């Protein structure tokens, strides 16, 4: 059973930074495609970033390239999403997700992921 637990959300002013964490077991972090998604009311869940650590492949949505960084710390069994230069439009519930596989040609489609965390809220004020 894959369990994912997010933390690190909160409120920040535009231009600020936050770091989200996703706790998972080491096998999952090493062998699964791991991703971050976000969701706002009335919109589909949007893929933000993904990583497949075995190959080192990393993917970002165009909307966050250059501002967000996805990474893992295998010693701590954590995946991170470092978010900088935050904008009000980044306000959303952020979810950690995992799926057995290599990420393939990642499209950010939520249907490609099987396991989900409970989410953590990020609010960016202008």
Q: What is the pLDDT of residues 102-126, one digit of tens each?
A: 898 888 999 999 999 999 999 999 9
Residue appearing with tokens 């990583």: 51
Is residue 1 predicted with pLDDT exceeding 90? no
Tell me the C-alpha distance between 109 and 26, whole Å. Answer: 24
DSSP string for 3-63: --EEE--EEEETT--EEEEEE--HHHHHHEEEEEEEE-TTS--EEEEEEETTTTEEEE-TT
Angle, CA 36 vertex, CA 14 and CA 66 arms, to 5°:
50
Cα dist from 14 to 4, 58, 86, 125, whole Å: 28, 26, 5, 6
Q: With 90 as the cut, is the pLDDT of residue 82 above it?
A: yes
Does 101 score more than 90 pLDDT?
Answer: no
Confidence of residue 56 (pLDDT cuts 50, 70, 90): confident
* pLDDT band (50, 70, 90) for residue 43: very high
Instruction: Judge whether residue 79 has pLDDT over 90.
Output: yes
Could you tell me what percent of the chain has a pLDDT over 90? 87
> Any idea which residue has 């002013």 for tokens?
13
User: What band does 98 get if pLDDT is binned at 50, 70 and 90?
Assistant: very high
Please say if the pLDDT value at position 83 is more than 90.
Answer: yes
The pLDDT score that the predictor gives to residue 61 is 97
Structure tokens given for 30: 């090493």
Instruction: Please give the average per-residue pLDDT across 60-76, as a whole number.
Output: 96
């Amino acid at each position: 059973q894959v369990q994912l637990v997010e933390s690190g959300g909160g409120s920040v002013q535009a231009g600020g930074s936050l770091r989200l964490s996703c706790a998972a077991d080491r096998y999952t972090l090493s062998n699964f495609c791991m991703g971050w998604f976000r969701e706002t009311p009335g919109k589909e869940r949007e893929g933000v970033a993904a990583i497949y650590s075995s190959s080192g492949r990393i993917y970002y949505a165009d909307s966050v390239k250059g501002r967000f960084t996805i990474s893992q710390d295998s010693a701590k069994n954590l995946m991170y999403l470092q978010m900088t230069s935050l904008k009000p439009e980044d306000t959303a519930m952020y979810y950690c997700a995992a799926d057995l596989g290599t990420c393939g040609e990642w499209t950010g489609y939520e249907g490609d992921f099987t396991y989900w965390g409970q989410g953590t809220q990020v609010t960016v004020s202008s």
